[in-house]
């Protein structure tokens, strides 16, 4: 499947270095709208793109990893003497370049601010980058400048991985979860042995190597996502699990009733705020919603609304069948989760989205009826979103890809990271109009930026190999 890479948001070395390297194309300028990033495209079909603080990593269909940007802690994976790259370079340590062995075929990447996890086709897990808080899982507090297999998991088949700033997680083929890294007060769901804190305060502890999370013994997982301060998952029996919301026990799973209410089942195109891509945005040193005033939230009264077109006959038939299936299954069941910073999104089998948690920048997607600084204790249905294929969250920002490949974003909007031409936050899901008419198949957020994989214009068939980062797992 041929795809193009589009990027927007904060400029800087994460998009490469030198003149024109920012997503806006002007030195390290921010980009308020999506722009095709040809420098992020390699001579192979791209399956995933991951955004770190100042670097980018991509995974190709043939299982190779390429990185670019600044990686002084080793996150580029090219050795201690190659920590700044102006263009994509293949990670040769995975390709068998340095040893007389077959290449390691990678099937999934988890890209963090300063470290990377890579899942191999044979179930092995590799890590590299910053290891100052044991987040690499090798039992030491040091950086790794090239990929290294995590020996503790050598006998375990890993199928997915996630990263936080200073912690890491891996899911095995049986739904068991492993965690390691910075673990004060047992927040990883495992308890570190006393004295593992190194130079940290006594109350802070480190899990030096992957440890099994006991809670997943009785409730194996089929879906998971890890936010800045909590985790959310779905157990094999369909139970929705959320963190408790406090930092002391934020990885202790708590079952949440689902669905919370009976949401409307009419399947129509969503009525989303329409922001014209031709609008003039002043890019001064102090624009509305910039760092000086990044709390501005646009809601339903601040942005025009596009009329929803009536569904076609095919859409109506498809929607009717899908709704009947959902109703027969107690209205809906959770199929995927996305965890940001103190907020969570849940996708159900009917293509509807729910949110819960902090709403400081409109990241719950509920609009004006809920105060922007309110915290929603229970799940709330986002009425503006229907027909959703995948959900995504990072920090205080959120995104969703609809069944037809339309990308919508909302929440925190500093640096233009929402891609709608504003530096303001948005309290309602808003279509990224610059990508109208294109089919988005994958999106990733990180470091104040967003990247999307879009089907090339000459591609006529949509297939499944390219999916969202958190594809729901089945066993």
Round to whole Å and give the CA distance between 276 and 257. 39
Round to whole Å and give the CA distance between 3 and 410. 24
Round to whole Å and give the CA distance between 118 and 111. 9
- Report if residue 422 sits inside a domain: yes
CATH assignment at residue 319: 2.130.10.30
- Report if residue 73 sits inside a domain: yes
| Best CA proximity match to 162, nearest among 214, 236, 68, 232 | 232
Q: Which of 188, 218, 248 is the last residue of a domain?
A: 218
Identify whether residues 212 and 317 lie together within a single domain.
no
User: How many CA atoms lie less than 13 Å away from 429 in the CB half-sphere?
Assistant: 28
Round to whole Å and give the CA distance between 82 and 89. 10
- Report if residue 185 sits inside a domain: yes
Round to whole Å and give the CA distance between 359 and 341. 10
Note down pLDDT in tens along the chain; length 475 residues.
689 999 999 876 555 444 344 454 444 678 999 999 888 888 889 999 999 989 999 999 999 999 999 999 999 999 998 889 988 999 999 987 666 778 999 999 999 999 999 999 999 999 999 999 999 999 999 999 999 999 999 999 999 999 998 999 999 999 999 999 988 766 677 766 555 545 555 445 789 999 999 888 989 999 999 988 888 999 999 999 886 544 444 456 677 777 775 444 433 444 544 443 333 333 333 333 333 334 445 554 444 333 334 445 554 555 554 444 444 444 589 999 999 998 999 999 999 999 999 999 999 999 865 665 677 778 899 988 999 999 999 999 999 999 999 999 999 999 999 999 999 999 999 999 999 999 999 999 998 999 999 998 754 333 333 333 333 333 2
Identify whether residues 107 and 197 lie together within a single domain.
yes
| Best CA proximity match to 161, nearest among 222, 119, 190, 197 | 119
Pairing of strands 206-212, 221-226: unpaired
Round to whole Å and give the CA distance between 92 and 112. 20
> How many CB atoms are closer than 10 A to CB 218?
7
* Chain position carrying tokens 């293509």: 351
pTM (two decimals)? 0.81
Round to whole Å and give the CA distance between 221 and 475. 10
Q: Which of 186, 218, 250 is the last residue of a domain?
A: 218
Strands (E), 229-290: 231-235, 240-242, 254-256
Instruction: Give the domain extent around 23.
Output: 3-218
Identify whether residues 165 and 300 lie together within a single domain.
no
- Report if residue 457 sits inside a domain: no
Rounded alpha-carbon distances, angstroms, from residue 81 to 145, 359, 450 = 9, 43, 29
| Best CA proximity match to 302, nearest among 449, 450, 430 | 430
């Amino acid at each position: 499947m041929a795809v193009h890479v589009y990027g927007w948001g904060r400029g800087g070395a994460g998009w490469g270095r030198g003149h024109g390297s920012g997503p806006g194309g002007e030195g390290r300028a921010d980009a308020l709208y999506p722009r095709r990033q040809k420098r992020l495209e390699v001579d192979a079909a791209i399956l995933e793109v991951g955004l770190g603080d100042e670097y980018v990593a991509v995974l190709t269909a043939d299982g190779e990893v390429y990185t670019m940007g600044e990686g002084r802690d080793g996150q580029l994976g090219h050795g201690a003497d190659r920590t700044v790259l102006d263009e994509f370079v293949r990670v040769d340590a995975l390709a068998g370049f340095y040893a007389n062995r077959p290449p390691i075929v990678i099937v999934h990447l988890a890209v963090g601010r300063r470290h990377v996890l890579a899942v191999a086709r044979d179930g092995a897990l590799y890590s590299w980058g910053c290891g100052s808080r044991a987040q690499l899982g090798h039992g030491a507090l040091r950086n790794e400048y090239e990929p290294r297999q995590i020996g503790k998991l050598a006998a375990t088949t890993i199928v997915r991985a996630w990263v936080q700033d200073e912690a890491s997680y891996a899911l095995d083929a049986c739904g068991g979860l492993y965690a390691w890294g910075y673990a004060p007060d047992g927040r990883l769901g495992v308890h570190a042995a006393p004295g593992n804190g190194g130079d940290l305060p006594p109350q802070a502890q480190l899990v030096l190597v992957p440890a099994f999370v006991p809670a997943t013994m009785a409730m194996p997982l089929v879906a998971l996502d890890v936010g800045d301060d909590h985790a959310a998952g779905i157990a094999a029996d369909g139970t929705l699990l959320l963190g408790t919301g406090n930092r002391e026990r934020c990885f202790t799973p708590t079952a949440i009733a689902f669905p919370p209410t009976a949401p409307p089942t009419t399947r129509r195109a969503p009525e989303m705020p329409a922001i014209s891509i031709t609008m003039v945005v002043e890019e001064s040193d102090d624009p509305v919603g910039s760092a000086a005033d990044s709390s501005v939230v646009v809601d339903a009264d601040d942005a025009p609304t596009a009329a929803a077109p009536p569904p076609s006959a095919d859409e109506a038939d498809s929607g009717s069948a899908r709704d009947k299936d959902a109703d027969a299954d107690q209205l809906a069941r959770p199929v995927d989760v996305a965890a940001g910073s103190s907020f969570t999104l849940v996708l159900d089998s009917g293509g509807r989205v729910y949110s819960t948690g902090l709403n400081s920048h409109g990241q719950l997607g509920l609009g004006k009826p809920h105060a922007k600084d309110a915290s929603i204790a229970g799940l709330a249905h986002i009425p503006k979103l229907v027909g959703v294929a995948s959900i995504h969250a990072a920090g205080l920002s959120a995104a969703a890809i609809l069944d037809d490949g339309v990308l919508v974003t909302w929440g925190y909007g500093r640096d233009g990271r929402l891609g709608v031409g504003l530096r303001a936050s948005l309290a309602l899901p808003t279509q990224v109009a610059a990508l109208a008419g294109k089919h988005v198949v994958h999106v990733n957020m990180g470091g104040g930026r967003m990247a999307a994989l879009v089907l090339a214009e000459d591609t006529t068939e949509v297939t499944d190999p390219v999916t969202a980062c958190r594809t729901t797992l089945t066993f």
